Chain A
Amino acid sequence: MLDKKITFTLNGKKVEFIGDPLRRLIDTLREDFGLTGVKEGCGEGECGACSVIKDGKLVTSCIIPMGAVYGADIWTIEGIRDTELGSTIVEAFADGGAVQCGFCIPGMVLASYVLLKEKSDPSEEEIRQAISGNICRCTGYDLIVKSIRLADERRRGV
């Protein structure tokens, strides 16, 4: 096997990975960089618990090989949570009752972040669509949807 050196940006910092380019991004994030806010729920890109933002887009890190991360700009919950929009979402989730067991929530926060970055005052349908790849078994989603709306209202100051 040929180890490869792969440089990319992680939560705003240039980092380097040396290893099997087929290693899953999630394992690199969790075990090499200690970013355990990235959760593994299904290992096949179905549940969204391992969501990260890659080049501005929401992706599931459990099915992305390191070789596809060359030069990419990756953000995890650890890099998002203290940004202005990120913390607004996190606080709204806490106030709005969006969090139960919490395992899906970091991924849910990232999905919300991408949505609210792109869109102001999204409709209920748009919010539900935006989180439809993030499976939650606890909440039935209503309070997550409301919390995303709350975050949007707060950042728009309404």
Chain B
Amino acid sequence: MNTCYIPENLTEALEIRRKTHALPLAGGTDLMVQAKQGIGINPVFKSPIMIITGLDELKGIRVEDDGTLVIGALTTSAEIAADERVFYHIRTAASQMGAISLRNTATIGGNIANASPKGDLPQPLILLDATLTLASLDGEREMKVDDFITGAKKTALNDDEIIKEIRVKPVEANYLFYHKIGTRKANAISKLSLSAMANVKDGLILDFRASSGAAGDKVKRKREVEEMLIGKAVSDIPSLKDGFLTAWNGILSPHAMPTYRRESTKRMLSYFLDKISEGAELGIIS
């Protein structure tokens, strides 16, 4: 039988979490499916549950004075997709997550905590070096999303903590790329996703980043590989490209459809680099 708590505010939630280690249920779009038993049967959870869907303190999006974007953990994908202040990659990923009804229910905190390799939001968040604020009765700590997700379905969340908010510092970029290959054109689970961005000024690549979703046990990104391009001239892209693509391929570890995932990632990255190299108009590369 399930033990379930419904706290009325964050403090109460943290107290319950400390005392019982009850698992927070945010939107429920993952947990309710994992616990389902069939028609007319209440879902069965292996641990106590704490339904935090109603905690208004964890909802909403704001921008701090230094430009840092702060997204409450219980903000839904639909709300993120609709907010122009949210960075392109995150907003686009949120807008392509599942179906409308799912986006109305699923939360960013839940999507991160679920740590599915196919999850839509961790990939762009890791691209942008987003951090999490984790709250417990002892206070708060901050952690990179990339460090928080330690593997497939594994996180560094302590059993007395709750994800409070997601913080993204401004990142300068003038070439942007996001593509999700879904199981179909809408209402789809990710087969593969790729975010990439570059900041190009006066013929120089000042920053370059890429992140691959559903290409291994967790989101794949590696600064050392990105650095192969950073500080280099745009005109050097043709000579650097193959080496970069090979190195990027080396960080992917897809289990299923390995050839397809590796090759389409390579082709998408290659395309993005070609566009920069060709001096394509700044902005979103589609």
A interface residues, Cβ below 8 angstroms from B: 1-2, 4, 20-24, 27, 31, 40, 43-46, 48, 51, 54, 57-60, 62-65, 67-68, 70-71, 111, 129-130, 132-135
Question: B54 to chain A: which residues have CB within 8 Å?
Answer: 68, 70-71
* Closest B residue, CB atoms, query A57: B104
Q: What would 23 A/B residue contacts be, using CB atoms closer than 8 Å?
A: A20-B2, A20-B4, A21-B4, A22-B35, A22-B42, A45-B29, A45-B32, A45-B98, A45-B105, A48-B99, A57-B78, A57-B101, A58-B104, A60-B102, A63-B28, A63-B36, A64-B105, A65-B43, A67-B25, A68-B28, A68-B54, A71-B54, A133-B99
Q: Are B104 and A65 in contact (CB under 8 A)?
A: no
Smallest beta-carbon distance B56→chain A, Å: 11
Q: 9 extra interchain contacts, Cβ-Cβ under 8 A, other than A21-B4, A21-B6, A68-B27?
A: A20-B2, A22-B35, A24-B32, A57-B101, A60-B105, A62-B32, A65-B43, A67-B6, A111-B101
Question: B186 to chain A: which residues have CB within 8 Å?
Answer: 129, 132-133
Contact with A along B1-17 (1 / 0, CB 8 A): 11110100000000000
Question: A60 to chain B: which residues have CB within 8 Å?
Answer: 101-102, 105
Beyond A22-B42, A24-B42, whether A67 also contacts B99 by CB under 8 A is no
Contact with A along B68-107 (1 / 0, CB 8 A): 0000000000100000000000000000001111101100
Smallest beta-carbon distance A12→chain B, Å: 21
* Closest B residue, CB atoms, query A22: B2
Question: B53 to chain A: which residues have CB within 8 Å?
Answer: 67-68
Cα distance A130–B27 in the bound complex, in angstroms: 20
Q: Are B104 and A59 in contact (CB under 8 A)?
A: yes
Beyond A22-B2, A67-B6, whether A45 also contacts B102 by CB under 8 A is yes
Cα distance A22–B53 in the bound complex, in angstroms: 12
Q: Are B33 and A65 in contact (CB under 8 A)?
A: no
Smallest beta-carbon distance A119→chain B, Å: 13
Cα distance A43–B36 in the bound complex, in angstroms: 8
Q: Are B105 and A63 in contact (CB under 8 A)?
A: yes
Beyond A21-B51, A22-B45, A24-B42, whether A67 also contacts B4 by CB under 8 A is yes
* Closest A residue, CB atoms, query B102: A45
Q: Work out how many contacts link A and B, with CB atoms closer than 8 A.
A: 112
Partner of A22 from B49, B98, B100 at Cβ < 8 Å: B49
Those of B170-187 within 8 Å (CB) of chain A = 186-187
Question: A40 to chain B: which residues have CB within 8 Å?
Answer: 39
Q: Are B101 and A58 in contact (CB under 8 A)?
A: yes
Partner of A51 from B36, B42, B101 at Cβ < 8 Å: B101
Q: Are A63 and B32 in contact (CB under 8 A)?
A: yes
- Shortest beta-carbon contacts, A-B, top 4: A133-B99, A67-B51, A132-B186, A68-B53
Those of B190-226 within 8 Å (CB) of chain A = none
Question: A58 to chain B: which residues have CB within 8 Å?
Answer: 100-101, 104
Q: Are B6 and A27 in contact (CB under 8 A)?
A: no
Residue B139 at the chain A interface, CB threshold 8 Å: no
Residue B250 at the chain A interface, CB threshold 8 Å: no
